[in-house]
Every structure is written in C-alpha cells, then in structure tokens.
Amino acid sequence: MIEPFILRAAIAGLAAAAMAGPLGSVIIWRRMAYFGDALAHSALLGVALALTLDISVMAGVLAVATVVALALALLHPRRIHLPEDTMLGIFAHGALAAGLILTAMVVRPGFDLESLLFGDVLAVSRLDAWIAAFGALAVLVVLALIWRPLLAAAVCEEIAIAEGLNPQAARLAHTLLLAAALAMSMKITGVLLFTSLLIIPAAAARALARSPEAMAIGSALSGMIAVGLGLWASLSFDAPSGPAIVTAAFCLFVLFHLAARLLGRR
C-alpha cells in the first residue's frame, strides 16, 4: 500500500512538471532562460513579505512574483539601453540579494527556509497537492488558449501581428502563468531550483521533438519522469528531493541528446 505522503508528493510533483514543461518550452523559444532565474529569485522577497504580514507564503510569493513578472514584461530593454540578458541578470541577482537580506531580518525561529529554497516534495500537505493539481490544470488550459500567438511571436512577431494575433498580450499572460507556477512549485523544487524544472526538461525534449507541440508534450513527460526518478532516489538514498529531481532531469537531458546524435538528429 502506498503511503499517503508518497501519494501527495507524486501528485504535487507530477502536476508541477506537467505545467513547467510547456511553460519552459516557450522560455527556450524566446531565449529567456534568465527570466526564470529573475522570477525565482524574486520569490524570496515574497517569503519576506509573507512573514512580515503573517500571511500564506504561497500568497506572498505569488504577489511579489506577479509584480516582478509584470515589471520584466513591460520594461523594454531599449528604454534603458541594455541588452535583455543583462537586464534580466541584474534583476535576478538584485532580487536574490534583497530577498536574502529581508528574509534574514524577519524569519521566525524554527521556520524552515531551506525547504523553500531547495524544495521538499515529500513534506507537501494534502492542500498543497490539490493546489498543485488543479493549479496545473488551470495553467495548461490558459496556455492552450494563448498557444497560437505565443508560437507565432516566437517565429516572427511582425507576421503574428499581421495575422491579427496579439503576441504582446500572449507574452504577458505567459509571464503571469510563470509567476503562478512558481508559487505552486516552490515546495516541490524550491525557488532556487524552479528554473531547472522549467528549462532542463524542455531542453531535453527539444533534442528529439519534431514540432513545437511535440516539444511541449515531451518536456512535460520528461519532467514527470524526472519527478518519479527523483522521488525514488529521495526515498531510497535519503537524498534531498528537490536536487534529486533536478539531477534526474539533467540525466534525461544527457540521455536524450545522446539518443538524438545516434539517430542523426544532431
């Protein structure tokens, strides 16, 4: 018989991987891997806000991540004469430093900050598991609705606009979905490893995928396999669950790219 905590961990982990894969595929197409870092690092500010106001940590992270996501989406690099990756790097490290300082100032005795930084999927509650499951479903439904303009904008924004699509609104919606995914995934991989769950499974699936849709589906499946392997490693070898999931995802990345070479895809 499966232990309840294992079942909760599996539901939460698989749900997080299912929504992170397609979201991460769009990030790779937009060449904005640093965007995930900036968003994840800003989550520490949300933790500090939640502790200060004595509200849910998930609510605090969602609020701050949404504000930062909107700022990053609306602040055009040309206005400050900096390359996009430079601007994202500044946001990422600035938010991380500010979050660490504020969190250290307001953290309560006994508060498990490490689990929020690096994740502990085996400790999720029943409520966390249900939030992850239904939240992932909602994220995937919205992503499906904005998929066409997102994909068109990744190819050529001018053509997307000429076809009557609204790529800017789609990108903004994708950014907000990332903020929601971060808030729901922080107990699974932690805020510092969140970007790994977004990027690595998507990069692995890209090696073998022949279409954008195949890559999105493959990235979700790759992430779900990584979650399964990470949970097994965590239970079998007492390894920390978040890093174990990310390590499993990295192994799949290497395996998929080796398979692509053998098949002549690279």
pLDDT the model gives residue 79: 56
CB within 8 Å of 61: residues ≥ 6 apart: 43, 46, 47, 50, 182, 183, 186, 191
CA–CA separation, 165 vs 222, rounded Å? 30
Q: 133 pLDDT band (50/70/90 cuts)?
A: very high
Fold of 4-190: ABC transporter involved in vitamin B12 uptake, BtuC (1.10.3470)
pLDDT the model gives residue 165: 79
76 pLDDT more than 60: no
| pLDDT more than 90, % of the chain | 38
Question: Can you give the pTM of this predicted structure?
Answer: 0.90
Query: Left (φ > 0), alpha (ψ -120 to 50) or beta: where does 76 sit?
Result: beta
Higher pLDDT, 153 or 223: 223
The chain-wide mean pLDDT, for the chain, equals: 86
pLDDT the model gives residue 104: 78
Least confident of 82-96, 188-202, 204-218: 82-96
CB within 8 Å of 235: residues ≥ 6 apart: 6, 122
Closest to 119 measured CA to CA, from 250, 2, 9 = 9
Q: What does the pLDDT look like over 220-261, one tens digit per residue?
A: 999 999 999 999 999 999 888 888 999 999 999 999 999 999
Domain boundaries, the chain: 4-190
| pLDDT more than 70, % of the chain | 95
